[in-house]
Structures are given as structure tokens and as C-alpha cells.
Structure 1
Amino acid sequence: MLEERLVFRISDTELERRWQAVRAQMKAHGIDVLVMQNSNEFKGGYIRWFTDVAAKFDGPSTVIFPVDEPMTFITSGARHGRRTPAPGSLYRGVGQVLTSPYSIADCNTDHIDGELAVEALSSVRHERIGLVGQGTMRYSFGAHIQRRLPGAEFVNASDLVDRLKAIKSEEEISLIRQSARLQDEVWLDVLNFIRPGLREYEITTHAYRQCQLRGSTDGLILSGSAPLGQAAVKGHRHLQNRVLRQGDQFTMLIEVNGMGGYYTELGRTCVLGKASTELLDEYGIAVAAQEATAARLTPGASPAGIWSEHNAYMRGRGRPEEARLFCHGQGYDLVERPTLRDDDTMLVAPDMNIVVHPTYATPSVYSWTCDNFLIRPHGAERLHETPQKIFELS
């Protein structure tokens, strides 16, 4: 039975809310149908937001969303597959599921998902087609549908959906709070597990297990270690082979989803012994930078202003300006809008889930902190409860 297999299911009421909001915007912009495609769960938020079905790796999944008819869901599977989902199945709001075997690693199948999309689009009104998340579509897919439907007008509808997706409902906020709580618990578990003699990947493997035992289904855990006096830069799994020694520092970023697939991320540093004055002082600068940004996360604030003020803050303390993305929205995606940089036009609004992780490195210190904030009418509420400190372990 489906209910026995699913880790979590978003409510029908929530999905209906999203569909209704999108269709109102489509009608206002004269868009007949939306097309979106995702190929991984880390940044597969578009199709999940519309369907509550997680994207899978390798074989991109595509959703066709007409303004006044049920959706079509396209995924890799049996050749010439076509079925109508039964009531209560995985595919809610979907009128048909189309399948055929294809893979991003097999150039012989580059056209297949595009051809299935053309079939679906041809059966509905498609004079004006809105493409959602063009950066998540493979080139062969987009080129194929535009070549096969030369009479259609293609427009970028990402901003239309992004502005709806960024504002979280009360149901979503409840799940986001649970994700933050999960990460708080896992960091505490890591502090009780870590010890000299372990390799970094052994610690992150333990952390992954603890996340999944608590309901996470996907995400990343980055880590890094070094003796005091060296920058403990965090990295992915293939950079996690170092053996920890007494006196080392260890930093970890837990950016996994929780129940329902919603992402938050928590980052902290610990020392297997006593922290140096330099590490404590630099961490204090990172926390102050985060607090300054959080104070600016008020409804109506502009990303450009927040970006500029953060870099002015860093310059004023003689620390490197931010050249990466230090503050951004989250939801079904690890990174979603608003991206708090100088070229995003989406203003901060109530009920956004925003992570703030000011980060910088010197030759001797890697300094950072990472927490999520929920935007409320009065300002930002920090969701993580883990103390903001360097954890000293005996």
C-alpha cells in the first residue's frame, strides 16, 4: 500500500492551494501551460511543489501543468508507458503518466522526454508556454520541444512560480520547523560521537544515519578538520578522509531535508580540546555578521541592500567581503529565491524561510556560522536552537 511506503505526504488542501494560486497567475499573464523539469532531489523543488513527488537522479522528470486541465507527469520507465493514476495514488492532480526508458548519460535517448512532452502539450491549449526553471532543464529537452512546436510562444515563467513558492503556508512552516529541530538533534548526537582517531567521513556517515532515522530522505553533509592555527575548510565526501587528532577543530554543515522534503541547514564548529582565542574571536565576528543580516531581514527589504550592508560590515572589521552566496531562501530546494545578492529583485516577505551563513577564511582560521530564519511581520525568527558557540569537547 502507498501509505505504508511513503515517508510523508503533504495534504491535498496544500496542493490545491498551490494549484489555485498558480492558475490565477497564469490567467493574469495569459499563459496556457507550464513546463518544468527536475533531475535531483537537492534542487528538484519545482516538480515536488506541484505534485509532492520527489525528482529522481539520472532520468529527469517533467511536469506539464495546463491552466485548466490535469497535469501530465513524464518520467523514465517502460517503453510507451501510459497510465491514468487511480484516486489516492502517488500522482495527485495528474491526468496521465507517460514513460519511456531514457537517461542523461545516453545521448541516443536525448529526444525521448522532449517527444513525450510534445505529445502532452499537443493535447492541450499551448499557444503560450511558460518554462519554469530553465536552468534545471537539459538542453536537449528544451531544444526539442521548441523545435517541434514552432508556432508556440515560449516565455520564462520562473519568476511567476518562484514568488508563490517562496511564501510558505502554515503547513509548510510546521514542517520547516521540524527540519531545523532534526538538525539540532543530529548535531548534539555528533558531539557525543566524535573522538580522536575517527576519519571525517566516519563522522558524516554517522550523521547521515541519524538524519535518516529521524525522517530525512536526502541532502548533503559537508565537513572539514585541521589543527588549530589552520583553516578547517569543509568539503564533500571525497574530501573527508582526514583522521582527527586530539586538539583538532572540526566543522560540519548539515543541510538535509526533513519530513515532507523541506530543507534547512545548520553549521557549527567544535574543538577536541580547548579552542584558541583567535578561533573564538573570529567566530564572534561571524555570529555578529549573521545577527546584523538577520536584523535586516524585515518585510520589504531588498536583497541588494542586504548584500551591500553585509559587505560593508565585513570591510569595517577588516575581514574579506562575501563573494559567494551567504544568505538565501530554502524550501524543497537547498537554494531557492530570494537569493540575497545584488541582482535578485524578490523582496523579503513574511513567511519566507531564509538561511544565513556568513563565511570567510584566513590562512589560520575558517570562520562561519549557519542558521535558518523564518520571516515574520516584525522581523526574523531564528529556527535552530543549537547554541551559537565553538563547542569545546574534553
Structure 2
Amino acid sequence: METKVFTERIERARKVMERKELDLCILTNRSSIRYFSGLRMNTAAFSILLISQDDIKYVVARLDLLRAERDCWINDIISFPEDTPDYLNILTDHFKQWKNPRVGVELPELNYETYRYFQEKLSNGHFINIAAELKYLRTIKSDEEIKIIRESANIADKAMREALKVAKAGIKEYEVTAVARYTLLKEGSENPSFEPFLASGENSWLPQRYSSEKVLKPYELNLLDMGGIYRGYCSDITRTFSVGETTPEQYRLFHEILTVQQNTIKSLRPGISAGEVDYIARRAIEELGYGEYFPHLTGHGLGIDIHEGPIIDKERTDILQKNMVLTIEPGVYLPGVGAVRIEDMVLITDDGYEILTQTRRDLIN
């Protein structure tokens, strides 16, 4: 993305700082730093972004310094020695310019040990949690973000289709998700956006959210959930299928929940609340008699984080707006029968929606 994209994001963050009367923001959350810096880091790496009204300072480990200087738009980049007790001693002089600063931080993403360390470095500081405000900045996607998310969804579709090709009776759960992982990376994902899993038979209704050595067989429902990260942006897709014959109850459950999911998607439009969308799905499932077997939210926003606003759940007041991207994924987990969840990524448009994930939604694979 062009530098202008990131400077505009910084300016929106500074408006939040003005409203909160903050002197400084100290950001350690990986997603926030990626959003404002544009720099991809190894998942084990730690960095800090400092934002004031006058400057921006990016603090990275020594090992990452040269690459950050080459690839990041921020001019003031300094390094710290990893795995040393006083690793932020390099910021001591920088912090001296504030006598009694109001400091924005992201809780609970900021772990307690690091939080206490900042409090020692800024002993006269007053710390204010601005995690919600910064997350809200990411809910409405730009045209450039939507292009990236489309490709992320496209890669997830490819991985799902390749995984379904090998999902036959006699194959193990983890063998199927191995194909999904391989395809995600082969097609350009940085990493899976979460641990992909295939839960078959009893594992589906528990549910067991990791793949095991269990083999797939007929007369079972199989739930396959996966997603990848492409240029920083997550995808998420779930399909439910069988590798052979199903019972009449499994057949009925699958088609009932697929209908609920599709009807819920049809309700999406700018101006509707997240709580109302959840109510549409939840009421339909309750009317089918499965209310107690629907244990999770109806959907969630996604972008740099796999779960971000808007959250589609009970009584949520978030109002859907154009260029939000979210999932719709009602599910029922029925002991002795199986689980059904069909999940798609959806873009909110001017007057409705566009489904971004296109893998077929068939019961028999």
C-alpha cells in the first residue's frame, strides 16, 4: 500500500488521541502495529509503536532493524536488544519530554509484565485503555483493503476445494487439514489465520476444534474450518459434508441449517444492527427446536484480526455499514447426530451484500 494510506490511518488515530486528551500512544498489539506500519513481522517478534501528535517512533528488535528501515514508511526506527531486562532503556530520554502524560494503551492485549514496565518508565503517567477505539478504526475497509480481502477469500476457497478433494472415507482428519495448510501457503498466504481443523462424527458435536487421527466414514457429518492470511488480512470459511451416506436426520439437519445461514445472509444491509442479524438466525434455529445446541455467535467481522468488529451476537448494537466485511456462521451441534455449520465471508455493499467465499455447499462430498 502507498505511504498515504498509513499516514491517513495515523491521522485517524491522532483524532482519537485528541478526543481522549492523550499525549502519547504506546502500541504493542501485533494487529495494530501492522495496521499502522504496514510491516509484516515474524509471529515470535515483538515491536512497539509510539504515536504522539508530533512524531512517530517505531521500536524493533536489532535483528529486524535493517529490514524495517528498508520496508517500512516510518522514518524514525530504533532498535532494542531482545531478551534483556531493561530492553526499553533506549526510550528513557524520549519519555522525559512528558511530565505527567496521559498515555493510550491497548488492554487486555498488553500483557501485565509489559504494562508494569511501561508504568515504571513513565512513573507519572496516567494510562488509558483505547483498544476499542483503535479497533473501531479497522471495521470499515478501504477499497484497497477489500481487494486484498477478496484475494484472501479466494485463497481460502482454493484451500477448501483442494481439501475436499482428498476428504474420502478412510482418510484421517489431520491428513485433510494438511492439504488445506499446504494449499493456503502455496497460494500465497503468510500463515493460516487460525489452526485449521476437521471435526468428524462425534468430534463435530463436541466440538473438537483440532484435527485428530480419527478416520472419516459414511453416516457422519464432518465440519471443516479454515482460513489464511494474505498481505495481512484474514479469511475464514467452514463447510460441512459427508463422505458417503447420511441418516435422514443428518440430511434434514444439514439442509435446515444451510437455509438458516442463507436467509440470515439475505438480511444483511447497511443500517441493520448486529443484534438484529443474530436474532434472525437464532430465532430460526430455536423454531427448529435446536436453540440449546447453538452455542456461539452468528458471525464476526474480520480483517487484520480473524475476529474483529462488528460482532454478530445477541443484543449487539453495532450498526452494519458499507465496506464492513464479516462472516455468517450459525451452527448446531447435536449429540448423536452431528454438527452443521456453514460459514461464508460477506461484504456489506451500498444496499445489501456480496458473498466473498464461493466453495460449493453440498452435503455429499
1:105 is aligned to none
Superimposed CA distance per residue, residues 201-241 of structure 1 (whole angstroms, 9 cap, x where no aligned partner): 111111111110111111231111228xx84656444x421
2:14 is aligned to 23
Q: Note if contact 2:95-2:121 (Cα within 8 Å) is conserved in structure 1.
A: no
Superimposed CA distance per residue, residues 164-186 of structure 1 (whole angstroms, 9 cap, x where no aligned partner): 11110000001111111111122
2:53 is aligned to 67
TM-score, normalised to structure 2, is 0.88
Query: Per-residue deviation at 1:190?
Result: 1.7
Q: Note if contact 1:307-1:340 (Cα within 8 Å) is conserved in structure 2.
A: yes
Q: CA RMSD of the aligned region, Å?
A: 2.8
Residue in structure 2 matching 1:46, options 18, 24, 32: 32
Q: Note if contact 1:85-1:95 (Cα within 8 Å) is conserved in structure 2.
A: no
Instruction: Decide whether aligned partners of structure 1 residues 94 and 315 sit closer, same or farther in structure 2, where only a CA change above 3 A counts.
Output: farther
Query: Per-residue deviation at 1:246?
Result: 5.2
Q: Note if contact 2:204-2:222 (Cα within 8 Å) is conserved in structure 1.
A: no
C-alpha separation in 2, matches of 1:269 and 1:245: 14
C-alpha separation in 2, matches of 1:124 and 1:83: 29
Q: Which amino acid aligns with 2:244?
A: G
Instruction: Decide whether aligned partners of structure 1 residues 232 and 148 sit closer, same or farther in structure 2, where only a CA change above 3 A counts.
Output: same
Q: Note if contact 1:190-1:207 (Cα within 8 Å) is conserved in structure 2.
A: yes
1:156 is aligned to 129
Q: Note if contact 1:84-1:95 (Cα within 8 Å) is conserved in structure 2.
A: no
2:268 is aligned to 297
State the number of aligned residues. 361
Q: Confirm whether residue 101 of structure 1 aligns to residue 82 of structure 2.
A: yes
C-alpha separation in 2, matches of 1:115 and 1:289: 56
Superimposed CA distance per residue, residues 234-285 of structure 1 (whole angstroms, 9 cap, x where no aligned partner): 6444x42112345554321112222x12112111122222333322321222
SS for the counterpart of 2:346 is strand
Query: Per-residue deviation at 1:115?
Result: 5.2
2:102 is aligned to 128
Alignment of 1:269-280 (within 5 A): 269-280=240-251
1:6 is aligned to none
Q: Note if contact 2:278-2:312 (Cα within 8 Å) is conserved in structure 1.
A: yes
2:339 is aligned to 366
SS for the counterpart of 1:350 is coil
Instruction: Decide whether aligned partners of structure 1 residues 232 and 316 sit closer, same or farther in structure 2, where only a CA change above 3 A counts.
Output: closer
- Which stretches in structure 1 are left out of the alignment for 5+ residues? 1-9, 39-43, 103-108
Alignment of 1:224-303 (within 5 A): 224-226=199-201, 231=204, 235-237=208-210, 239-245=211-217, 248-258=220-230, 260-303=231-274
Q: Which amino acid aligns with 2:81?
A: S
Q: Which amino acid aligns with 1:223?
A: L
2:181 is aligned to 208
Q: Which amino acid aligns with 1:97?
A: I
Q: Which amino acid aligns with 1:222?
A: F
SS for the counterpart of 2:199 is strand
C-alpha separation in 1, matches of 2:120 and 2:348: 43
Q: Note if contact 1:33-1:126 (Cα within 8 Å) is conserved in structure 2.
A: no
C-alpha separation in 2, matches of 1:115 and 1:338: 38
SS for the counterpart of 1:373 is strand
Instruction: Decide whether aligned partners of structure 1 residues 112 and 205 sit closer, same or farther in structure 2, where only a CA change above 3 A counts.
Output: farther
Instruction: Decide whether aligned partners of structure 1 residues 85 and 267 sit closer, same or farther in structure 2, where only a CA change above 3 A counts.
Output: closer
Alignment of 1:320-339 (within 5 A): 320-321=291-292, 322-339=294-311
Superimposed CA distance per residue, residues 62-88 of structure 1 (whole angstroms, 9 cap, x where no aligned partner): 22122221232244x46xx988964xx
Instruction: Decide whether aligned partners of structure 1 residues 315 and 97 sit closer, same or farther in structure 2, where only a CA change above 3 A counts.
Output: same
- Which stretches in structure 2 are left out of the alignment for 5+ residues? none
2:118 is aligned to 145
Q: Note if contact 2:328-2:345 (Cα within 8 Å) is conserved in structure 1.
A: yes
TM-score, normalised to structure 1, is 0.82
Superimposed CA distance per residue, residues 176-199 of structure 1 (whole angstroms, 9 cap, x where no aligned partner): 111111111222212222333322
Alignment of 1:103-118 (within 5 A): 112=86
